[in-house]
Structure 1
Amino acid sequence: MGSPRSGTTLLYHMLLSAGGFVRYRTETHVFSTLAPRFGGMRRRADIQGALDVWLGSDCHTLSALPADVVRDLVERDCRSPGDFLRLIMEEMGRRQGLRRWAETTPAHVLHMREIAAQLPGALFIHVVRDGRDVAASLSRQRWIRPLPTDRDRPALAAAAYWDWVVRAGRREGRALGDAYLEVRYEELVDRPQEVLDRVGAFIDQRLDHEDIVRVGIGSVGRPNTSFPGATGGFQGRWRTELAPGDARDVDAMLVRTLRAFGYESDSRNAPLRLAARARAYAARFAARRALKAFAPLARRSTSLDFFAPGSMRVTAEKLAQAVAGDAT
């Protein structure tokens, strides 16, 4: 989990390639989308609503589970979002002959304490990437709506979101003590075995980089355009991908948070105008998060676009892995 475009999928596919984890090639958005949209899934009618959305989505298709099995499990035993996620993942594990599972929704970084309360014993890995590179990548996607003053500068909105979400994620995680680990994307691609040793000690499992590359699930074996293997080739691209003025302002806006997470910066501090802008964005993001915690408003404001049929890439390979697990 972590900010979007931070390498969460790369680490997840490394774990799947290592073996011993349920093979499920997508995110779930249970806590970040289904739970707020359906009143925290506290009432039977809300659980039923979430289940109907799930069964009509590619999330369900990629699980390779029969719909009647999922429906029976959830209708019988689900009392919370944590139950919903656990029941589906455990049933996949039962069919794959595996007991451990991992989940990779980036936005769940904002829900760690809630998840920990509902899934006792859960461990949390927060993947952090240089916020300037995240801003360059996110600004191309235009997922973060800029303030009116930044309509032509989406990189500032993207940078502000990274700043807010990694700080919020660190607060969530540090409340969990030893159940929380931070991993830097740049170290993962530059010194993969060193980072995998840390992750392996954290989850109590041996992780061998050569074995992981040999199995090569997903972005480990066929890197996407953002994470080209463990080469580090996409580090520092903000300097060339962002316009000079945007690069300068993004670096200055993020200077405190960059240094807090161990990154160097060309800036000494953020000018007042950029600091004020970052606070304005943070207030907006925090307000949206608060709305999601208030059921009546969250029902109307939480989009279900992620669960629209056809929103994910469903392949024969992904389905075969979900059916066979480590046997593939």
Structure 2
Amino acid sequence: MCGYSGPLFLVGSPRSGTKLLRDLLNRHSGINLCNPETHFIPYLFQKHGGDPKRFDANLDRLFADFDRMPFQLYSRTMGKSVMNRTDFEQLRSARTWNDAFEIILRFYSADGNRVKGLWGDKTPSYVLEMDLLKEIFPTARFLHIIRDPRDVVVSAKKAWGHNALRVARKWVRDMKAARQSACSLGKDYLSVYYENLLIDSETELRRISEFVEQPFEEVMMTLAVPSENLGNAKGKRKIDRGNFGKYRQVLTPGLQKRVEEIVYDVIDTTPYELEYAERHKPLSPTMLTYLNIADGVKTVAHLLRRRGVVDGTRVMVGRRIQKKRNSH
């Protein structure tokens, strides 16, 4: 076993390949990223903590909030064992918040509470929380997967019905946040392009293995089970090497141009080339507000349709709670 034990956080804009990359990495005998996504770390730390170097939270209150998180519902739905209040007694051995969260994430490891190996989590939205996570986890490393924003909007539309322009705006937000955090993270940050992972999987996975100080293993090149249940990669157990550039068949030239105008001032830091846009033209605040509301309605409908009224409502409430942040 190599020296680095974690945590590793896999981040990126939604529909950028974070799930695929997590599942490939979890095939490695020494890597064990938590499944499902957590989302709760910033909320629980900011509500019950304050000093990352000192863990003295009231376990009854902490567990009560933890048990309300959608993470618990998703874990049960997946048929996984979930922590109860008695299991939470393990946290009494934690001296820091890093220790406490490690106990939790290892409990929910991908292969059934394997206690050894590199631990971590795949939560795409943590691309906005990397600075805070580095405070909580001083040894954390961050793997940021980036996908062509035009394909991201196509995938989000197919998966959830989300508006292409709003998805493009979120991609810009995520990229700017990542760029800012990367400056302070230095060698603890690595970016990977989704398209490179598809075209030359071995080279990229070897590069990632070096980043996390683990030997490359051939088994990482295939999936044990399909990684996706949504989008073009749904049900596939092999890496779909042609799953990019789909936007050219899906987006009209006018819509593609509008998407490119929104990402114009950020895409120049990537290998992606603009095909129509000639200037930056962001969404107006009014339009962004309208699209946020419209996509919010679609998200609610999607949740209720997939999980039913009771569980869907619980997830919605939990997501709202998790979004309550103190300034940091």
Tell me the TM-score normalised to structure 1 length: 0.71
Q: Secondary structure at the match of 1:126?
A: strand
Q: 1:69-148 to 2 correspondence within 5 Å?
A: 69-74=86-91, 77=94, 80=97, 82-91=98-107, 95-142=113-160
- Partner of 1:226 in structure 2? 232
Q: Where does 1:225-244 land on structure 2 (aligned, <5 Å)?
A: 225-227=231-233, 228=236, 229-244=238-253
Question: Does 2:266 align with 1:257?
Answer: yes
Tell me whether 185-194 or 98-107 shows the greater mean CA deviation. 98-107
Q: How many residue pairs are counted as aligned between the two chains?
A: 273
Give how far 1:264 is off. Answer: 1.1
Identity %: 23
What one-letter code is carried by the residue in structure 1 that aligns with 2:263? L
- Structure 2 contact 256–276 (Cα < 8 Å) conserved: no
Give the match for residue 212 of structure 1.
220
Deviations 1:34-71 (A, max 9, x none): 438x7365563752432231485233675525524432
Structure number with higher relative contact order (C-alpha < 8 Å, ≥ 6 residues apart): 1
Aligned to 1:322: none
1:254 match: secondary structure: helix
Q: CA RMSD in A?
A: 3.4
Which residue does the alignment assign to 1:11? 21
Task: Tell me if the contact between 1:59 and 1:307 (Cα under 8 Å) persists in the aligned partners.
Answer: no
Structure 1: tracts of 5 or more residues without a match: 145-153, 286-302, 309-328
Matched, 1:58 2:74: yes
Instruction: Measure the CA separation in 2 of the matches of 1:188 and 1:233.
Output: 11
Residue deviations 1:10-37 (CA, integer Å, cap 9, x gap): 11111111221236431111235x438x
Alignment of 1:191-206 (within 5 A): 191-206=200-215
Match of 1:290 in 2: none
- Asked if 1:189 is matched to 2:198, the reply is yes
1:253–1:278: 8 Å Cα contact kept in structure 2?
A: no
Tell me the TM-score normalised to structure 2 length: 0.71
State the secondary structure of the residue aligned to 1:136.
helix
Give 1:254 deviation, angstroms: 1.7
> How much has 1:163 moved relative to structure 2?
1.1
Distance in 1, matches of 2:214 and 2:284, equals: 44
Structure with the higher helix share, 1 or 2: 1
